[in-house]
Structure 1
Amino acid sequence: MGGGDWLRHVPAGDNRERLVCPDCGFVNYQNPKIVVGSVASHEGRILLCRRSINPRRGFWTLPAGYLENHETVEDGARREAAEEALARLTIDALLAVYNIPRISQVQLIHRARIDNPDGIGAGEETEAVGLFDWADIPWDDLAFPSVRWALEHWRAVAEATRFAPFTNPPGETGDY
């Protein structure tokens, strides 16, 4: 890659405008971001984190975040739970794959068990954590539509040993 400015144009054999190095022709593909997370539970209670960062600061969410390079999706989900809620998880299954096209995001949400329920606490990006019974989930204060989807999908298969991963509910794009 040269040291000059990137040019924006449609490379030969492509159908989308891309950033291209004018010196060597390197194409800088800008692809969707992968988010990994979990619906983690202990004895039927679900782990939620109150966000201390924007967007949606002060709202409740699942432990989730961006997948890092050279990390499996399961390792990423475990890392995010440790960072945000000090939780150690056993990943049970892939629960859902959600597409959020407006922000070019794909979310891979797992079903997991909390291995250290007495050790959970607020991590760096979290104001508070809680283990919620279904009836006590703060539904009006959930950060994103995909959090609600994941909780509902988790409930549908909470006791199932085998199931196919869920996707966005029909007509839903994840906008809030």
Structure 2
Amino acid sequence: MTLASRDEGARSAFPAFHGRVDQVLARVENVAAVGAGAAAVTAMVLVSLDVIMRYAFASPLTFQMYLTQYYLLVAMVMLALPWGYRTGGAIQIRLLLAALPAPLSDTITRIGLMVSAGYLLAVTWRGWLTFSEALANDEVIMGVIDWPVAWSWIWVPIGCGLLALRLVVDAAAPTLRPIGNAHD
């Protein structure tokens, strides 16, 4: 096997490998989005039930506000991040990029995706450290129920980590897809 044929084989195998990684990540993002949707529905049901119980029976759900505020809303936002980006929920200002030649524009976009992924990995790491510290110290939010702080933080590293992976996968794609357009 010659060096040229080995390089050609590696180049032809990368799009297939990238496609498999993209599909697996998309499935994980879909599961996270379903979790975000479940958190949203649960929050809506709890808030509605609390209002009914408070005004119709003068007996509010005392746990609802803490559960919704510290757990459900955080899970809803963080778990939806990667799915939202993948399905077109992103904005990119392309005024300057449109004026550049396509290869340069693609390179700048890929660099931007990687820098963004690096930032999100830092947020992921910091979120994980905060979760770990709160879990190790048994930190709680005191109220009618002592709510463990750690489990409100777990959604930050999960959501930001998945979004960072999505950005890396998109930056490494054989063909760059425009940001803000739904992926196939």
Q: Same fold (TM over 0.5)?
A: no
| Structure ranking higher in helix proportion | 2
Question: More relative contact order in 1 or in 2 (CA 8 Å, sep 6+)?
Answer: 2
Q: Which has the larger Rg?
A: 2
Provide TM-score, normalisation by structure 2.
Answer: 0.20
| Structure ranking higher in strand proportion | 1
